[in-house]
Homo-oligomer: A and B are copies of this chain.
Amino acid sequence: MVQPPSRKRATGRVTLADVARLAGVSPITVSRALRGERAVDPALAARAQDAARELGYVPDLAARTLASRHGTHVAVLIPMLSNALFVDMLEALQAVLRRAGYQTLIGITHYDAEEEEQLLREQLAHRPAGLMVTGLDHSAATLEMMAHSGVPCVHLMETSDGAGVYSVGLSQAEAGAAMTRHLLERGRRRIAFAAAQLDPRTLQRLDGWRRELRAAGLHDAALEWCDPAPSSLALGGRMFEDILRRDPAVDAVFFCNDDLAQGALLAAQRLGVAVPGRIAVAGFNDLVGSELMVPALTTVRTPRREIGEVGARLLLQLIRQEPPAQASIDLGFTLVVREST
């Protein structure tokens, strides 16, 4: 499969010039015909296309990028692939971009600002046509690179009010508040907030929870269970046990992500703790499996597929230099009440 390094310069590839020769037109006409750019005489275009097909011509994207000064791909930066949330968003955005002829270059930041910075630098070196990043919170260097590059950028998952920043997402704080109100309405009085990872969006949910509990006069700092470790089923189970043991008066736990909440439900089952009888459990994001848990998990459904789609469409507009109707698009959320609260 591995070829010996060729001694000569030529690559043996079929080039635009080869196609042009066979079609009997100039290379630039072939280029235009193949890209569907400008008006090309239909007869010539057909000849160019036939010749390209006959020779199995594949355009060299590196050459195209160099000549046109922008790639045919979009760089996307997300924190993790092991969170179904981002996978869903990614698949949706990729489908939209693909239909528009753009490929997707994925970078995983692992929630690390320095890694994000380095990834962005690498991705910018590829001259992407557009950029999609997760959230609004970035290091000064990252922000500077994004601005300096002149590459259009869409921020995903959150909503912004700053000028010149394009974003598609939802108000994480509002969503956190809505779940807290639901728990309050169910008569819960001592509602813990259990969080992992502690990324900006998690902290915004925490803010929403705080606001509602304070308004109800029920806030207590001891109710905040924040662990910077990555979110996981196992961690959720451990946090749940901890809370039960160290603060038995807690009658509800609002987990910042469904994987934690699912882990808690599994732990409850193993420990024989009645949910929601003894204690209510709520999650966030409505990840796969939450509706199948026993009891089925109450959660907040976040529209990540739509965020991906709408975000990709917004980016496409920016790439085409069409002014978008609005810079920040709030796609909202849905409270999904099931059996666990």
Identify the A interface with B (CB < 8 A). 1-5, 11, 58-63, 65-66, 69, 71, 81-82, 84, 87-88, 90-91, 94, 103-106, 108, 121-127, 146-147, 150, 152-153, 164-166, 232-234, 237, 262-263, 266-267, 269-270, 288-289, 292-294, 318, 321
> Whose C-beta in chain B lies nearest to the C-beta of A291?
B234
What separation, in Å, do the CA atoms of A127 and B58 have in the docked complex? 10
Q: Please, could you name 10 A-B residue pairs with CB atoms under 8 Å apart, sorted by A?
A: A3-B150, A58-B121, A62-B63, A62-B65, A62-B126, A82-B84, A82-B88, A233-B288, A233-B289, A266-B293
* Cβ 8 A contact of A66, one of B62, B106, B150: B62
CB of A121, distance to nearest CB on chain B (Å) = 6
- Which residues of B sit under 8 angstroms from A87, Cβ to Cβ? 81-82, 87
Q: Are B58 and A124 in contact (CB under 8 A)?
A: yes
Q: Are A292 and B237 in contact (CB under 8 A)?
A: yes
User: Which of A4, A11, A103 has its CB near the most chain B CB atoms (within 10 A)?
Assistant: A103
- How often does this chain occur in the complex, in copies? 2
Knowing that A61-B127, A62-B65, A232-B288 touch, tell me 4 more A-B residue pairs with CB under 8 angstroms: A103-B126, A104-B106, A233-B292, A262-B289
> Whose C-beta in chain B lies nearest to the C-beta of A115?
B98
What separation, in Å, do the CA atoms of A193 and B147 have in the docked complex? 55
- Which residues of B sit under 8 angstroms from A104, Cβ to Cβ? 106
- Which residues of B sit under 8 angstroms from A3, Cβ to Cβ? 150
* Cβ 8 A contact of A81, one of B90, B103, B234, B269: B90
CB of A202, distance to nearest CB on chain B (Å) = 20
- Which residues of B sit under 8 angstroms from A61, Cβ to Cβ? 62, 125-127
What separation, in Å, do the CA atoms of A90 and B82 have in the docked complex? 10
CB of A17, distance to nearest CB on chain B (Å) = 15
User: Which of A104, A125, A152, A321 has its CB near the most chain B CB atoms (within 10 A)?
Assistant: A125
CB of A80, distance to nearest CB on chain B (Å) = 9
Known: A58-B125, A122-B103. A294 touches B269 (CB 8 A): yes
Q: Are A153 and B1 in contact (CB under 8 A)?
A: yes
Q: Are A66 and B60 in contact (CB under 8 A)?
A: yes
What separation, in Å, do the CA atoms of A104 and B58 have in the docked complex? 21
* Cβ 8 A contact of A152, one of B1, B103, B124, B294: B1
> Whose C-beta in chain B lies nearest to the C-beta of A262?
B289
What separation, in Å, do the CA atoms of A238 and B84 have in the docked complex? 22
Known: A1-B152, A1-B318. A91 touches B81 (CB 8 A): yes
Q: Are A11 and B69 in contact (CB under 8 A)?
A: yes
CB of A238, distance to nearest CB on chain B (Å) = 11
- Which residues of B sit under 8 angstroms from A263, Cβ to Cβ? 292
Q: Are A62 and B292 in contact (CB under 8 A)?
A: no
> Whose C-beta in chain B lies nearest to the C-beta of A103?
B122
CB of A109, distance to nearest CB on chain B (Å) = 12
Q: Are A108 and B81 in contact (CB under 8 A)?
A: no
What separation, in Å, do the CA atoms of A7 and B163 have in the docked complex? 26
What separation, in Å, do the CA atoms of A293 and B125 have in the docked complex? 45
CB of A192, distance to nearest CB on chain B (Å) = 21
What separation, in Å, do the CA atoms of A103 and B84 have in the docked complex? 23
> Whose C-beta in chain B lies nearest to the C-beta of A270?
B294
> Whose C-beta in chain B lies nearest to the C-beta of A63?
B66
CB of A286, distance to nearest CB on chain B (Å) = 13
- Which residues of B sit under 8 angstroms from A267, Cβ to Cβ? 292
